[in-house]
Structure 1
């Protein structure tokens, strides 16, 4: 348990079922059989030293809790009051997390999602909850990461997976920044006024308005993400940005040929511009031919492939995990997230959960353990756990 956690639960400043509709939520710890990569005694000691001496950042997660009964999930999301997994996060080794909010499930007022007022509602509601506790520090700059590390807390950063809700209004970028957003994607699965999403058969690339939006994000100091864009849109964005960008949660299409993953040329372009690539672990994504069953080993095979392709200075981790039944969430929101289009034609072992990466806490622990077990140096581990991300943030946020 991180020393900064004092036992706060989401919205405990209100009365459940009086001030808001309550749901029975999933267990934060032990929903499925926990799994930690087994290590020798000396390796265990080294893991502890590494965690204590390095900044550990999740470039992309959803550290919220979903209902235990998946049939209540849509009602829960429409209520617009996601619960943060404070206790679950306290069991992690994270010092900072980029929380991607209700992205893909922001259906408070619309089945299609991504409406401006809904996104603002989500950001405000979650920020209010964060303001009533002192374990998560609402982050706005790099100093907040170091402060959280020193105090045994976690710096919590608002990140948005798509800019769909800004429509054709550049000034909305500044409004989102003012409300706390520090990273934003160009497009999600579907195209928007900025560019093409990965769902599209024809990728038209970054639009003229998209170029203006990239320039505004650079000026404001908001980091840019292209994890869910089409390949051409991603390449155009990398070229248009005056600062390095992130591909916050992704895997290598060379290892598993599906649209959700990206090709080598996009990774190389991102790295050549100084950017960083985070490895994705959402169910049924980072699979490989060697590991057709999604788990920590298939996940780390994607890490090593991209690391070998672009170099250790340009990789990090963005597990895209949550607390609850992630597979069922994908089934329920399949159309919103373009699950069918992204996996079409692919045969893989269907899983109930990703072993070793069940939630952000387990993922953060096992990533460190895997790196130690596989002989990575302290310097290399320090880079991929946080130093690479901080380097890019210093440029993107300037």
Structure 2
């Protein structure tokens, strides 16, 4: 059941291949043709593969292939160029604005997965990573207090510094420690009881960034998967309390109208912590130009995300296509208002182990459980290389993208 909750939450990203297509198909040698593409009966490394009737060993081969494909490959020349960029900017703060890997049993996230995420970020040269501790009550129930407690313990065990201020981030950089902060990708839990008290509790327990809703409409705001509704009256109160408590408002997973309303209602800059550009790829999780402009007008920042399902139609996630989203945002609202996020799942194997054989939920002819890529922490330097080499970004613009643009937003909220 715990892994099922994890699948429900992750399917929004990994299931981005599902479209309204039928099961009709024509059998051909070695598999069949469907509207989603050729589905192989024999090659477990094919883009689409039929897992029906396959042995546990064959399923395990497919799972291993998908997990390996999740991390994009780079040529030796590209890796060398990224290493040069990492060395060039080693003295500057680099931020991964979303890492969905808190210690959350409801999402099948244990200490080992959290530590894996922290380790990958630290080794990649990331200064601060923001761990998601919550998205929606339908998945997390009332577990948030225990998640924070257990994630605090795991952070201490790793040697990470849990930050309360922008100065803490700079101190972590000076000492060579990884800084960690918490975010929520939804906030329906604040509606249980007194909202103002719940917001005070959130701030006191280290939640530094909060979204109103996780994809679906709730009593605070309209969700990204549902369409056009924006902030409600309760949502306006949420914005007010967030500003008072020094919590950065986030509108990834919310509707475009919610982004616009939140930016206009907030007295401080807001973020879209992990959102790509709708004009480049028309996925419902991506932001319209109007939403991006609203965030920019208030001095906020938009962080494209490395999840392939939101970057491109075929699920590929290369630094080159990521940079296209960065540059598009920068052209709209300025190079001082863009940033980096991975949204990389560090226990993706759990998803694939259940998704691949579960053809009733993830039928291969609909393109489900196909390979999908996700940029990881280390790829921030590949993106930097592309921004320098292809788009001629200068030193200060890169330093902003790496972390200083977000530091400005954090500082404005955390006073």
Check whether TM > 0.5: yes
Aligned runs of 1:135-214 on 2, under 5 Å?
136-167=160-191, 169-170=194-195, 171-201=197-227, 203-214=228-239
Over 3 Å counting, the alpha-carbon distance change for 1:190 and 1:377 in structure 2 is same
**Displacement after TM superposition at 1:377 (Å):** 1.3
Please tell me whether residue 103 in structure 1 is matched to residue 135 in structure 2.
yes
* 1:363 equivalent in structure 2: 379
8 Å contact from structure 1 (residues 64, 322) kept in 2: no
Over 3 Å counting, the alpha-carbon distance change for 1:392 and 1:84 in structure 2 is same
**Displacement after TM superposition at 1:84 (Å):** 2.4
* 1:58 equivalent in structure 2: 96
Q: Structure 2 CA distance, aligned partners of 1:220 and 1:48?
A: 35
Cα displacement string for residues 250-309 of structure 1 (whole angstroms, at most 9, x for unaligned residues)? 111111112110110110111011000000122311116xx8743322222111111112
**Displacement after TM superposition at 1:242 (Å):** 0.6
**Displacement after TM superposition at 1:225 (Å):** 0.1
Q: Structure 2 CA distance, aligned partners of 1:393 and 1:40?
A: 32
8 Å contact from structure 2 (residues 72, 317) kept in 1: no
* 2:348 equivalent in structure 1: 325
Please tell me whether residue 227 in structure 1 is matched to residue 252 in structure 2.
yes
Q: Structure 1 CA distance, aligned partners of 2:368 and 2:321?
A: 12
Over 3 Å counting, the alpha-carbon distance change for 1:269 and 1:40 in structure 2 is closer
Match of 1:88 among 120, 137, 142: 120
SS at match of 1:158: strand
Unaligned 5+ runs, structure 2: 1-62, 356-360
8 Å contact from structure 2 (residues 217, 226) kept in 1: yes
Q: Structure 1 CA distance, aligned partners of 2:379 and 2:163?
A: 22
Over 3 Å counting, the alpha-carbon distance change for 1:221 and 1:327 in structure 2 is same
**Displacement after TM superposition at 1:369 (Å):** 3.2
Q: Structure 1 CA distance, aligned partners of 2:231 and 2:333?
A: 24
8 Å contact from structure 2 (residues 83, 381) kept in 1: no
Cα displacement string for residues 115-149 of structure 1 (whole angstroms, at most 9, x for unaligned residues)? 3x212221111112112342x11111111111111
**Displacement after TM superposition at 1:113 (Å):** 1.4
Please tell me whether residue 296 in structure 1 is matched to residue 319 in structure 2.
yes
SS at match of 1:52: coil
Please tell me whether residue 307 in structure 1 is matched to residue 345 in structure 2.
no
Q: Structure 2 CA distance, aligned partners of 1:326 and 1:128?
A: 24
Over 3 Å counting, the alpha-carbon distance change for 1:267 and 1:41 in structure 2 is closer
Unaligned 5+ runs, structure 1: 1-25, 67-72, 105-109, 333-338, 341-346
Q: CA RMSD in A?
A: 3.3
**Displacement after TM superposition at 1:103 (Å):** 3.3
TM-score (normalizing by structure 2): 0.72
**Displacement after TM superposition at 1:322 (Å):** 2.6
**Displacement after TM superposition at 1:204 (Å):** 2.9
TM-score (normalizing by structure 1): 0.75
Q: Structure 2 CA distance, aligned partners of 1:382 and 1:195?
A: 34
Cα displacement string for residues 171-215 of structure 1 (whole angstroms, at most 9, x for unaligned residues)? 1011011111001001111122211111224x3321111111100
Larger Rg: 2
User: When the two structures are aligned, how many residues end up with a matched partner?
Assistant: 338
**Displacement after TM superposition at 1:223 (Å):** 0.5
8 Å contact from structure 1 (residues 281, 318) kept in 2: yes
Over 3 Å counting, the alpha-carbon distance change for 1:123 and 1:37 in structure 2 is farther
Q: Which moved further from structure 2: 57-66 or 148-157?
A: 57-66
